[in-house]
Structure 1
Amino acid sequence: MTEEEAPCPPLLYPTRAEVDACAYPNWPERVKLNGLDATVIPIDRSGPAYAWLLSDGIDMTVIDRWTKSRNPPEDSDSEDTETQTQTQAEAEAEAETDHPAVYELFDTIEATIKKYDGTVFTKTDWSSARDVSWIYNASNGLRACTVEDVVLYLKSSDFITHDLMMPYDGCVDVEEGDVSLPPTVHLVLKQFYDLRVANEVRVFVKDGKVLAMCQRQSDVFFAHLLEEEEWRHPMVEKVHKFMGERMLEPMQSVGLDKFVCDLYVTPGQGYVRVIDVNPWHPATCDAGLYTWEELHTLSLSPPASPCDMRVVESQAGIVDTRVLSSGFPLEMTQGMMGVDGMTLDDLVASMKECNMQ
């Protein structure tokens, strides 16, 4: 077998401890200080608030009842006829969802939104609701201004559900049938900033060294990133400096020598902020403008000089992402397979051609 025909070595997957280390509450303080302001709200996995988050459907009437519970009518005779004639089944259903712990969660969310001047970004330990941004107007940057907004993101997102139910899926040290989960999940509400996605960089770290980097939004073409001297090179220099001085050592101190992080870089103003830290996980983390096979091969023979940043070089060069794929309804995705020989990849290619016209 020739070298070109040699199969790629098995891809690396994370351990349970590495996944835990990437959860926002477990970030080293030095890393949090270089991130965006955030408030962590713990949710007991055995409690009613967690059960409500996983319950089927999105029943927003529970928020209406929570609002009314804080401002009860002074005269009970003035209650709505609908409330007075409530059926026993409706009362039992409300008793299951309208638990004091659920109302307390709403209270905390509302207080946090006020703390951050009325807008927050919603995520859990590892993931945000980026997969549903196409539903709730992607141009708003997943801005949440009300408790209703936060609840919609939490209850709609498959990425969030994965955090809640399967955080250790694919870990190398999890045996088949092991369904153990951490006792607490965390809702992380970050102060909302209107970030320019062109300034976001995805960095791949292996063996405590920066292995590769690329623009985070691999499904968008930013022409100005092709200007090396004015944009790309200053961004690359700042990323390498930041990683060496403020990121690599703290993450190694919590047992992480391989991970993927997203940074916000401003070439002109010169500051770098940590957006997120992700496990080195081919099944749940996008490889950006690389493939996981390519990254694994790079890790076996790391480049001697500091890496450059890959960027999308034209509209034809955009790459499909988990977020983009999640924008297709399941029925549509399944229906595309095998119909007139067309697959989902063919559909994405067709969309690229339309964007170029």
Structure 2
Amino acid sequence: METTKAHVLNCQFSSWYPKFKKLTPRARILKPIPPSVLNYLNQDGIFLGGSDDDENEDDGEIKDEDDENVQRARVSAEDLKLITDTIEELGGSVVPKLNWSTPKDALWIAPTNSLKCTNASDILLLLKASDFVAHDLDDPFDNCKDDVVGKLTENFSYELVLKEWFPIHTSHEYRCFVKGRKLVAVSQRDPNYYDFLEKEAPEHLELLIELSEKLHDFPDENFVFDAYIQKDRAFLIDINPYSLTTDGQLFSWSEINKLNTDDPVLRLVPKGPFGSSGSMYSENRVPFDMVAANLGGNISEFANSMQQSMAAEEKKDKF
């Protein structure tokens, strides 16, 4: 199954958000992404914040940065302030993402084990630790049939998206597959079994069908969208390419491609020995002791140190 660069670009947040703004939680798009943030994300390794003026000195000897176990991030005070102001504009708590991906696979490094970010360092830490975000930066068109290597469109730029955070029940998250502009499949996203979902499923499916019908202005007839059910409303959370690079969740892509467009299939995690599989993206997590050893301390200390160093840099540049 192949896709095109145009389809992938249609699925980036800034392409669809203006059209469907009323269907999704509030968000702000920093486009292009602040330059020092992009530089930070493109550097190898996970490292602490620091000042551009810092020198790598030890006993009077200047060392090459590559010799240091802990490198310094160089996010400018101006860019940090832009992020901070945007967080405040959205109520003080946000969920970050780039053009396509949210760093859900990086919760292992978040002190709160949550995507909720209340400051710039929370955001940078999650983005930097995410394989999904790294894919956005390194190879977003890897499954496209057209030749796109090194040929991004002239008006393309990376974007930092900050979405208003609100508490959710993960049991009410769904991934929805649209084929020929018809909803054909809906999958529960949380990998755990919930007995109450069986009773709620018919109502949820109706809400998701209604939401899918409001997405007819999306330029492609095949696409995947993520939704969240809250009471009697379905919220649009994200739009993803109709591609093997998008997780089919409880469906295989061969199943999805064979499904009839008349009757959408809703699939829930079944009750039984395989009805609870823990957290999503557990394969992206690493042992805590391994991370702690590599960082020379524990995750909490690492995150706190990063926050303090970035705050110090921002304060210093104000004077």
Aligned match for 2:86, one of 105, 108, 112: 112
Question: Quick one: distance in 2 between partners of 1:144 and 1:97?
Answer: 21
Give the superposition deviation at 1:265: 1.4
Task: Note if contact 2:49-2:73 (Cα within 8 Å) is conserved in structure 1.
Answer: no
TM-score, length of structure 1 as denominator length: 0.70
2:207 is the alignment partner of 1:238: yes
Aligned pair in 2 of structure 1 residues 222, 98: CA closer, same or farther (>3 Å)? closer
- Which residue is equivalent to 2:239? 277
Q: Distance between the aligned counterparts of 2:32 and 2:140, measured in 1?
A: 15
Counterparts in 2 of 1:284-303, with a 5 A limit?
A: 284-298=245-259, 302-303=260-261
Shift of 1:86: 7.9
Shift of 1:154: 1.2
Coordinate RMSD, CA, aligned: 3.3
Q: Which amino acid aligns with 1:241?
A: E
Q: 1:288 to 1:44 in 2, by over 3 A?
A: closer
Offset of residue 328 of structure 1: 5.0
Structure with a larger share of its residues in helix: 1
| 2:174 corresponds to 1:213 | no
When Rg is computed on C-alpha atoms for both structures, the one with the higher figure is: 1
Asked if residue 310 in structure 1 is aligned to residue 267 in structure 2, the reply is yes
Structure 2 residue aligned with 1:54: 42
> Structure 1 pair 39/163, CA: closer, same or farther in 2 (3 Å)?
same
Preserved contact between residue 52 and residue 102 of structure 1 (Cα < 8 Å): no
Give distance in 2, aligned partners of 1:224 and 1:233.
12
What SS is found at the alignment partner of 1:168?
coil
Quickly say closer, same or farther: Cα 1:51–1:241, change in 2 above 3 A.
same
Q: Would the aligned equivalents of 1:141 and 1:194 in 2 still touch at CA under 8 Å? A: no
Residue 114 to residue 308, structure 1, CA distance change in 2 (3 Å): same
How many residues in Structure 1 have an aligned counterpart in Structure 2? 282
Q: Distance in 2 between matches of 1:223 and 1:134?
A: 28
Counterpart for residue 306 of structure 2: none
Match among 73, 84, 101 for residue 127 of structure 1: 101
Q: Is the 8 A contact 2:48 2:72 kept in 1?
A: no
| Among 39, 43, 55, the residue aligned to 2:28 | 39
- Percent identity at matched positions? 27
Q: How does 1:193-272 map to 2 (within 5 A)?
A: 193-217=166-190, 219-227=191-199, 231-244=200-213, 246-247=214-215, 249-251=216-218, 255-266=219-230, 269-272=231-234
1:67-120: CA deviation from partner (whole Å, max 9, x where unpaired): xx9xxxxxxxxxxxx99x986558999xx9776x73332111111122222211
What displacement does 1:324 show?
Answer: 2.9
Q: Secondary structure in 1 aligned to 2:158?
A: strand
TM-score (norm 2): 0.78
Secondary structure at the counterpart of residue 128 of structure 1: coil
Unaligned 5+ residue runs, structure 1? Answer: 1-11, 70-81, 333-357
Any idea what SS the aligned residue of 1:290 has? coil
SS of alignment partner, residue 30 of structure 1: coil
Q: Which amino acid aligns with 1:278?
A: N
Structure-1 residue corresponding to 2:305: none
State the distance in 2 between where 1:160 and 1:224 align.
34
Alignment check: 8 A CA contact 1:121 1:189 kept: yes
- Could you tell me which amino acid in structure 2 is paired with residue 309 of structure 1? L
Paired residues for 1:26-105 under 5 Å:
26-27=15-16, 29-43=18-32, 47-62=35-50, 65=51, 89=63, 102-105=76-79
Q: Which runs of 5+ in 2 are unaligned?
A: 291-319
Inter-partner Cα distance in structure 1 for 2:76 and 2:91: 23
Instruction: Quote the Cα distance in structure 2 between the aligned partners of 1:118 and 1:87.
Output: 43
Corresponding position: 1:326 with 2:290: no
Mapped pair 1:180 → 2:151 = yes
